[in-house]
Amino acid sequence: MKFTETFIVYPANRALQRAVRHYSELFPQQTEQAAQDRHEILHDNFIHTQGSFELPAELARIPDESCDNLRGMINEQDKSVETAALYNTYGNLLAARAQQEQDDAGYEEAVKAFNAALEIYSQEDTPEEWAWTQYGLAAASHALGIRRQSAAPMKAAVDAATNALLVWTRQDNPIEWALTMHLLGITFHQHGMMLKGNRTLQKSVVAFKNALTELDEENTGIELMATHNNRGAVLQNLGESEGNPDRIEEAIRAYDASLDTSMAQQLSIHLANICRINMATAKRVLGEMRQDAAITEEAADELEVIIECFGDSCQPRFLEHCQQQLALAREQIQTVGAQTDA
């Protein structure tokens, strides 16, 4: 089974944000300098699609020096909560640097740092910090699993996120609970694609559905948009795996809800384009499944509009994807037309 590529949106990582605040308290001058160097930062237009450890543009230079600074402060013999906090911040910023540099070893070091923090933090004595560290561990393990295309880190990510939910209940911590459900959703999605396992993909659908119960446009617009989009992505891949066009139609509705949220919240046009690309791709797949030229023609028209209107501002991989999908759509239209003529 070959899955069609779907594009994922990552909401801001609040564990990483907490780590940056902690670092800025420790090294205020370096943080201020990093913010002043914003003009050197690239990819401002592509936020929320790089991965879970994407720093705000004005702070993206922090990992250049932060990891060495933090490593020098850590006393491995000291088992205080202050040391655990250093390990946790160190892990988050290691993972941010690993994401910037596409460095597998950096993610591995981040995982070690989070585990070192968890040797000090406990669910009983420091539940909140323990949960945040479990979340960081889950995000870093998920990223490593994607880089390595390995199921073992994905399983570790699921275990860590599930641990965080022991503290973050839906009743007492609805936003943290929802964000962890979202992280479980993207992890089950990637894991399910590796395993080609429908049961794991179905777990992803459920996790995203759970997250949606606590998200709203007013307070969590980007998180809501991302969850609708990512739910659409797993529904599309699940539909392809099952050969079920009804799943693809459900995916299209999820993408449409994501686009509506993006437009209502006036989010980046880049994010709206992600929804459009995913939706057009899903319609192309649906047209192929149903052997319906009209649906495929609609997908082709939408892909042509994306390429014509937004091609110059698209990342190369998005533009290439649109061009490939458009070529497939045109081929499908010709095939269905030839069958009809015959």
What is residue 80's DSSP assignment?
S
Predicted confidence at residue 41, as pLDDT, reads: 45
For residue 169, what are the CA distances in angstroms to 163, 179, 180, 272, 281? 11, 11, 10, 31, 36
∠ at Cα 161 (157, 167), nearest 5°?
155
Of the listed ranges 100-104, 204-208, 288-292, 309-313, the least confidently predicted one is 309-313
For residue 21, what are the CA distances in angstroms to 14, 17, 203, 276? 11, 6, 34, 35
Predicted confidence at residue 40, as pLDDT, reads: 46
Place of tokens 């980007």: 222
Q: Residue 94 corresponds to which amino acid?
A: L
Predicted confidence at residue 43, as pLDDT, reads: 46
pLDDT of 237 strictly over 90: yes
Predicted confidence at residue 335, as pLDDT, reads: 86
CATH architecture of 215-342: Alpha Horseshoe (1.25)
3-class DSSP state for residue 309?
helix
Q: What is the pLDDT of residues 195-236, one digit of tens each?
A: 988 999 999 999 999 999 999 999 999 999 999 999 999 999
Predicted confidence at residue 45, as pLDDT, reads: 54
pLDDT of 35 strictly over 60: yes
- Which residues of the chain are in CATH 1.25.40 domains? 1-202, 215-342
Q: What is the pLDDT of residues 278-308, one digit of tens each?
A: 999 999 999 999 999 999 999 999 999 999 9
Higher pLDDT, 80 or 337: 80
pTM of the model: 0.93
The whole-number average pLDDT for the span 59-74 is: 86
Domain 1-202 class in CATH: mainly alpha
Predicted confidence at residue 222, as pLDDT, reads: 95
pLDDT above 90 covers a percentage of the chain that reads: 81
